[in-house]
Amino acid sequence: MPEERYDGAWPRVAVRKTHKLYIGGAFPRSESGRSYPVASADGEHLANAGMASRKDARDAVAAARKAFPGWAGRTAYNRGQVLYRVAEMMEGRRAQFAAELAAATGAERAEAEQEVSAAIDRWVYYAGWTDKAAQVLGGTNPVSGPFDNRSAPEPTGVVAVLAPQDAPLLGLVSVLAPVVAMGNTAVLAASESAPLPAVALAEVLATSDLPGGVANVLTGRTAELAPPLAAHADVNALDLAGAGELAADLEEAAAQTLKRVLRPDPAVVWSADPGLSRIRPFLETKTVWHPVGI
Amino acid sequence: MPQTASAAEQAPTNRALREFLHGLPGVDEVGARERAAGLATRSVKTTAKAAALDLAVRMVDLTTLEGADTPGKVRALAAKARRPDPDDPSAPSAAAVCVYSDLVGVAVEALRGSGVGVASVATAFPSGRAPLEAKLADTRRAVADGATEIDMVIDRGAFLSGDYRKVHEEITAVKQACGGAHLKVILETGELATLDNVRRASWLAMGAGADFIKTSTGKVAPAATPPVVLVMLEAVRGHRAATGRTVGVKPAGGIRTAKDAVRNLVMVQEVAGPRWLDPALFRIGASSLLNDLLMQRSKLRTGAYAGPDYFTID
Amino acid sequence: MSGTSGTDTDGGRAGDGAAEPAQDQNRARAERKGSRLDGQPLEYAPAPESRSVVRLREAYDPFIDGEFVPAETGEHLTTANPADEEPLAQVALCGEADVDRAVAAARRAFDAVWRELPGAERGKYLFRIARILQERSREIAVLETLDNGKPIKETRDFDVPTAAAHFFYHAGWADKLAFAGMGPDPRPVGVCAQVVPWNFPLLMLAWKIAPALAAGNTVVLKPAETTPLSALLFAEVCQEAGLPPGVVNIVTGDGGTGRTLVEHPGADKVAFTGSTEVGRGIARALAGSGKRLTLELGGKGANIVYDDAALDQAVEGVVNGVFFNQGHVCCAGSRLLVQESVAEEFLERLRARMALLRLGDPLDKNTDIGAVNSAAQLERIRDLAETGRAEGAHAWSPPCPLPERGHWFPPTVFTGVTQAHRVAREEVFGPVLSVLTFRTPEEAVAKANNTPYGLSAGVWTEKGSRMLWTAERLRAGVVWSNTFNKFDPASPFGGYKESGYGREGGRHGLEAYLA
């Protein structure tokens, strides 16, 4: 951190941030009391991040479950506005995100800023999907009988998201936004090596009208956090974007409760237009029949 | 409904009637149709069919209700009702003949000693659009001439406008005018439009003292459709459970084939219960049905399909 | 459960609020004057459908690459009629080599013919299949009833016509896949390994094969061990339709054959309908393989009856919901949640209605409840029913003599059940209804959702806003309101949570078969 002169006499001592977890709308330290050092792309120590434990993961799932009915029950228009608010809040902290991203990835400042822009725009993109996906994915089914028959998508519930390891901001937003856009709640495990943008994002979420518990952000060892999330019976779906070599084992663990699993796509390009590709996997189709008569 | 004929003097208020009738469980039309269609797939063969055909013959109210009716036509009908199949003495008689009130005397004369009843439509059949005095005079005259059963129509206009009290009062007044004759109350379900209304009208009529509830005049289509009969059978079953009084059901209009008649009996059995498989509690208002029943009887007896020229047309 | 006749352990009997059972009538008749048989039940005479339309072979080979070829294992299974336990035919017990051949044939057909064929032409084959199923409907219905034990009324009026409808519906998709919502140029997935259950053998086959073929995939399908015959007849239909060899392959066998098929490295996509236990195993086995997977698994559907429901239709819906197909229905409404204020009246009507159910010869056109498909399934049903009693719930069945031979279980309703009872939590897959009560809509929804399953649910109310409120909150893939157990090729079907993933039917169903 650059140190400034204060009062022309002594260098000012900067107030550093403690990087905490984000669970249920609060910023607790890991219940384990652990942290781990986070280094920049060129190996310089940046900060200590909270090292979440299995119990933190459990608490995050509980918070996400608690938040689910309320969030899913919001109108789609309202969820859209909340997501847009996230974009607004991020926009106000562009410089911080660009700096953290540059530090984390070693990218040039301009490149980092471009990625921040893309990440902000992605929230805007999904803010627009909230009240359209149901029309695109649902509809009326012309059954052969005197019945009204409609199918509409609904959020699947609590989604455990393993954020991509090597795209700590755009990748992070790209996996989190579609999950919460449609009314799911998320427990996100941040990129293990570059968790600081996720912590910054959590701070944005906390000030963005997103109800506490809708998005929960854990930093720590993916290999420690992912297995309990994959096996947790109160998790409905799993995004394995950042699972790496753990993917197959996690998918196997998820089978115990038939979780929906989005497998990692090695060819993914985070800057590409995602369409519905990350919305669809976390929706259930509910079909309702009703007789038509007098 | 906690009403019985004896309470006729204190007719309930419109409000009380509405609260009661609209508090009945609704009828889901699609579900009712499905149930009726499901029961229509029952296969009634051989011995069961023989029993059903005979019972159906004995349930027929052989009907003529034309402007062109004459004493001669009514006498012919009476002969048919008394002895539907002259070639087969085992064929039972029909339940009754059903005629306009001015021809009751002819029918009574022709049926004397046969055990076949004489039913008269009354109360400004089929529209029901006449002053109550005229309806009562019509009824009294028919009973005086010897009618054993009176088939009255309700005032559908009053029913549809929500004047349940008027419908109730007319039924109780006609019931009183019937004396010992059985009262069948025609709901004219084709004009009631919904099965909810059919259920409400059924309960209204039963509460006002009807001995039978009858679907239709035969002058309005649709008439005795399976879902309508189903709902009325549910109503008499429920009414008996609630009050202990057993009311009969008479589909009329549109039942022309033995197959239709047997399907009605299946509904009677599986919806109301076997208790109603009795001419005292279930009638079928028809004219051409009788010959089809006889042809099917003959087919069962001889093994060969029957031809219409071998059965009398009157 | 002894399963010999009507049982009444909680003093319940058919009330006057509903059609009276025959016994009461005898008494009533005796009281009535007169000697005619009035008021006596009409005893339906036997009305058996003829078996002569079906010509069973002594033994059946698997259908691979357009031909019936002997299995390399040389081993056979015997499939029997569950209604009398008489053997019907021998079918091959296919092994690895047979599955290999079938998958290879499907791959060749996929690469050489089927994926290349213009959609419109593919569609015409499906139209042909639909028509042949309609033409041979009587034969197929009787065969299905013989092999499965379900009533002819159901195979005739439901299984076979609905199977034909699925082919007809999907045929029209074959040249319109660009509109299926998977992008402008969707591609087929490849070779599909499909395993279907015994409860709707032909219909489940149709649900699997029709969308797969329409989307340009080829299939290897394994029918259930105890009900292979209609799938083998379907193979004949494919021949009759002139379907190119290898597009559809049918391998018969047991669970081991199924496992070999779904784990076969040559399969690109796996579709399974069956128990949650087996589905779990498949999901586990396929983890990391990259194979596409859809699962349609178990359920413990709740049927919520509010006090303002159209009660007579609700009774029908509840009866249909759990006794249709002997309750061998994954989406069965096996939990009745009835509002306390109408519970007593409703149960009275329900019992009276149950007393009208006719159990017996599945080929009799008046049979409502047929045979349980297998001895193993019967054992499972008995076990769970016995547990229900042991846990203190009251079982009631109408008087219902069971045939001496075959596998039978009487329609049974458990009252005094709570969410804690096993019979209210586990899928019975038999004609067993558990009754629970509730006081408020919130309680109804909470109880309905309180299960790891999420396949189906029912809601009965005459109030539109309450219906929609309830349907919105039910965590189930299919919600039937004021109706139950309705199916249509255009309507997506499939579950939430442990009832599986993916949808079958409608536009949604195509997603599983397109990349």
pLDDT tens digits, B30-79: 999 999 999 999 999 999 999 999 999 999 999 999 999 999 999 999 99
- For B91-135, the pLDDT digits (tens) are 999 999 999 999 999 999 999 999 999 999 999 999 999 999 999
Contact of A147 with chain B, judged by CB distance below 8 Å, is answered with yes
Using CB atoms, pick whichever of B27, B55, B272 lies closest to residue C19: B272
- Which chains share 3+ C-beta pairs under 8 angstroms with C? A, B
Q: Is A149 in CB contact (< 8 Å) with chain B?
A: no
Respond yes or no: is residue B135 known to be catalytic: no
What is the value of pTM for the model shown? 0.94
Identify from B33, B93, B278, B283 which residue to disrupt to test chain C contact, counting C C-beta atoms within 10 A and taking the largest count: B278
Task: Assess whether the previous peptide bond of C201 is cis (omega < 30° from 0).
Answer: no
Strand duo A185-189 + A158-162: pairing? parallel
Classified as helix, coil or strand, C7 is strand
Domain C59-297+496-513 has CATH 3.20.20.10: no
Establish if C23 touches chain B: CB-CB under 8 angstroms: no
Mean pLDDT value of segment B273-292: 96
Comparing CA positions, the residue from A259, A237, A281, A255 lying closest to residue C285 is: A255
User: Best residue in C270, C297, C488 to probe A by mutation, most A CBs within 10 Å?
Assistant: C488
Residue C502: band (very low, low, confident or very high) from pLDDT cuts 50, 70, 90: very high
- The answer to whether residue C193 neighbours chain A at the CB level (below 8 Å) is no
Choosing among B29, B30, B198, which should be mutated to test the A contact, i.e. which has the most A CBs within 10 A? B30
Predicted complex ipTM: 0.93
Cα separation, C260 vs C159, in Å, equals 28
The CATH number of the domain holding residue B172 is 3.20.20.70
- Contact present, B8 and B173 (Cβ < 8 Å): yes
Closest Cα to residue B31, out of C486, C487, A98, A55?
C486
Chain A: touching chains (3 or more CB pairs < 8 Å): B, C
CA distances, C177 to each of A134, A278, C191 (Å): 20, 21, 18
A19-71 pLDDT per residue, tens: 999 999 999 999 999 999 999 999 999 999 999 999 999 999 999 999 999 99
C-beta neighbour count of B61 within 10 angstroms:
26
Are A294 and B31 an interchain contact pair (Cβ–Cβ within 8 Å)? Answer: no
CA B132 to CA C303: how far, in whole Å? 49
B32 to chain A: nearest residue by CA?
A: A293
Tell me what pLDDT residue B9 has: 52
Contact status, residue C19 vs residue C356, Cβ threshold 8 Å: yes
Range C48-54 average pLDDT: 96
How far is it, in rounded angstroms, from Cα C283 to Cα A56?
28
Residues of C in contact with A286 (CB under 8 A): 471, 474, 476-479, 496
- Model confidence at C15, pLDDT cuts 50, 70, 90, reads very low
- Per-residue pLDDT band for C26 (boundaries 50, 70, 90) equals very low
Strand, helix or coil at C92? strand
Q: Give Cα separations from A289 to A2, C335, C427, C486 (angstroms).
A: 64, 19, 23, 8
Asked whether the beta carbons of B277 and B243 are under 8 A apart, the reply is no
Query: Kind of pairing, strands C456-460 and C394-397?
Result: unpaired
pLDDT (0 to 100) of residue B287: 92
- Contact state of C39 with B277 under an 8 Å Cβ cutoff: yes
Q: Is B203 a domain residue?
A: yes
d(Cα C187, Cα A286) in Å, to the nearest integer? Answer: 26
User: Residue B191 has what DSSP assignment?
Assistant: G
The helix/strand count (H/E) of chain B reads as 12, 8
| Over residues C198-202, mean pLDDT | 98
Which chain C residue shows the shortest CA-CA distance from A138? Answer: C508
- CB–CB of C491 and A143 under 8 A? yes
Q: What one-character-per-residue DSSP string does C142-167 give?
A: HHHHHHH---HHHIIIIIHHHHHHHH
Distance CA B96, CA B120 (A): 10
The span from the CA of A47 to the CA of C288, in Å, is: 35
Contact B275 C39 (CB under 8 A): yes
Q: Are strands C456-460 and C478-481 parallel, antiparallel or unpaired?
A: parallel
Q: Would you state the structure tokens that stand for residue A172, as one six-digit string?
A: 């992070």
Q: Tell me how far CA of residue A264 lies from CA of A119, A175, A282, B278, in angstroms.
A: 20, 11, 14, 73
pLDDT band at C234 (very low <50, low <70, confident <90, very high): very high
User: Is the CB of C315 inside 8 Å of chain B's CB atoms?
Assistant: no
Query: Span B211-223, mean pLDDT?
Result: 96
Distance from CA of C397 to the nearest CA of B (A): 18
Distance from CA of A200 to the nearest CA of C (A): 33
- Is C16's Cβ below 8 Å from some Cβ in B? yes
Pairing between strand C218-222 and C191-195?
Answer: parallel
Q: Which of C153, C320, C149 is nearest to B43 (CA)?
A: C153
| Domain residue extents for chain C | 59-297+496-513, 299-481
Tell me which residue in B25, B51, B270 faces C310 most closely, judged by beta carbons: B25
pLDDT, mean of residues B211-231: 97
Q: What CA–CA distance (Å, rounded) separates A146 from C42?
A: 32
User: pLDDT confidence of C23, banded at 50, 70, 90?
Assistant: very low
* C492 has a chain A CB within 8 A of its CB: yes
Q: Which residue has the tokens 């691979």?
A: C64
Distance from CA of A279 to the nearest CA of C (A): 13
Domain boundaries, chain A: 20-268+276-291
d(CA A232, CA C260): 29
- The alpha carbon of residue B292 is apart from the nearest alpha carbon of chain A, in Å, by 33
Tokens of B298: 């003959």
The pLDDT assigned to B2 comes to 45
What is the three-state SS of B271-288? HHCHHHCCCCCECEEECC
Set C94, C192, C330, C400: catalytic member: C330
Query: What would the 3-class secondary structure string for B187-201 be?
Result: CCHHHCCCHHHHHHH
> Could you write out the DSSP letters of every residue in B13-37?
PHHHHHHHHHTSPP--HHHHHHHHH
Residues B121, B123, B125, CA angle at the centre, nearest 5°? 55
Topology (CATH level 3) of domain A20-268+276-291: Aldehyde Dehydrogenase; Chain A, domain 1 (3.40.605)
Beta strand A10-11 with A5-6 is antiparallel
pLDDT in tens, C363-377: 999 999 999 999 999
With the C-alpha atoms ordered B272, B275, B281, B286, is the resulting torsion angle positive or negative? positive
| pLDDT tens digits in sequence order for chain A, 294 residues long | 455 556 667 889 999 999 999 999 999 999 999 999 999 999 999 999 999 999 999 999 999 999 999 999 999 999 999 999 999 999 999 999 999 999 999 999 999 999 999 999 999 999 999 999 999 999 999 999 999 999 999 999 999 999 999 999 999 999 999 999 999 999 999 999 999 999 999 999 999 999 999 999 999 999 999 999 999 999 999 999 999 999 999 999 999 999 999 999 999 999 999 999 999 999 999 999 999 999
Determine, for residues C19 and B46 on separate chains, whether the beta-carbon distance falls below 8 Å: no
The minimal CB distance from A291 to the residues B28, B193, B194 is found for B28
pLDDT, one tens digit per residue, over C342-398 is 999 999 999 999 999 999 999 999 999 999 999 999 999 999 999 999 999 999 999
Question: Residue type for A89, please?
Answer: M
What's the CA gap between C368 and B71, in Å, rounded?
Answer: 50
- Inform me whether the C-beta atom of residue C161 falls under 8 Å from chain B C-beta atoms: no
Q: Determine whether A131 is exposed, middle or buried from the number of CB atoms within 10 Å of its CB (0-12, 13-18, 19+).
A: middle
SS3 of residue C127 by DSSP: helix
> Closest chain B residue to C153 measured between Cα atoms?
B41
What residues in A contact B38, CB-CB < 8 Å?
Answer: none
pLDDT at A5: 59
* Residue linked to tokens 């306009």: B100
The token pair at C290 is 């990259």
Backbone angles phi, psi at C496, to 5 degrees: -95, 170
Residues from chain C that touch A147, judged by Cβ atoms under 8 A, are 483, 486
pLDDT digits (tens, 9 = 90+) for C93-121: 999 999 999 999 999 999 999 999 999 99
List residues of chain B with CB under 8 Å from any CB of chain C. 25-28, 30-32, 34-35, 41-49, 51-52, 55, 234, 237-238, 240-241, 265-266, 269-281
Q: Of the listed C144, C154, C296, C511, which one is catalytic?
A: C296
SS3 of B269, please? helix
pLDDT at B313: 85
Q: Does A292 touch chain B (CB under 8 A)?
A: yes
Q: Which of B61, B85, B145, B151 is catalytic?
A: B151
Q: Is the pLDDT of residue C470 over 50?
A: yes
Instruction: Report how many domains make up chain B.
Output: 1
User: CA-to-CA distance for B209 and C78, rounded, in angstroms?
Assistant: 64
Q: Interface of chain B against chain A, CB under 8 Å?
A: 28-31, 33, 193-195
Q: Which two tokens stand for residue A291?
A: 């007789």
- CB-CB under 8 Å, A144 with C283: no
CA angle A119, A120, A121 (to 5 degrees): 90
- Residue A92: burial class (beta carbons within 10 Å; 0-12, 13-18, 19+): exposed
The count of other CB atoms within 10 Å of the CB of residue C168 is 18
Supply the range of the domain harboring residue B155: 5-302
Query: CA nearest A283 in C: which residue?
Result: C496
| Amino acid at residue number A119 | A
C480 CB near a chain A CB, below 8 Å? yes
What was the pLDDT predicted at B101?
A: 96
Identify the chains in contact with B, defined as 3+ C-beta pairs within 8 A: A, C
Nearest residue on chain B to A290, alpha-carbon basis:
B30
CB B70 within 8 A of CB B107: no
Please tell me the class of the C299-481 domain: alpha beta
For the stretch C134-158, pLDDT in tens is 999 999 999 999 999 999 999 999 9
Distance in Å, alpha carbon of A220 to nearest chain C alpha carbon: 24
Collect all residues of chain C within an 8 Å Cβ-Cβ radius of residue A238. none
Cα distance from B144 to chain C (closest Cα, Å)? 28
Residue that the structure tokens 């048919």 belong to: B80
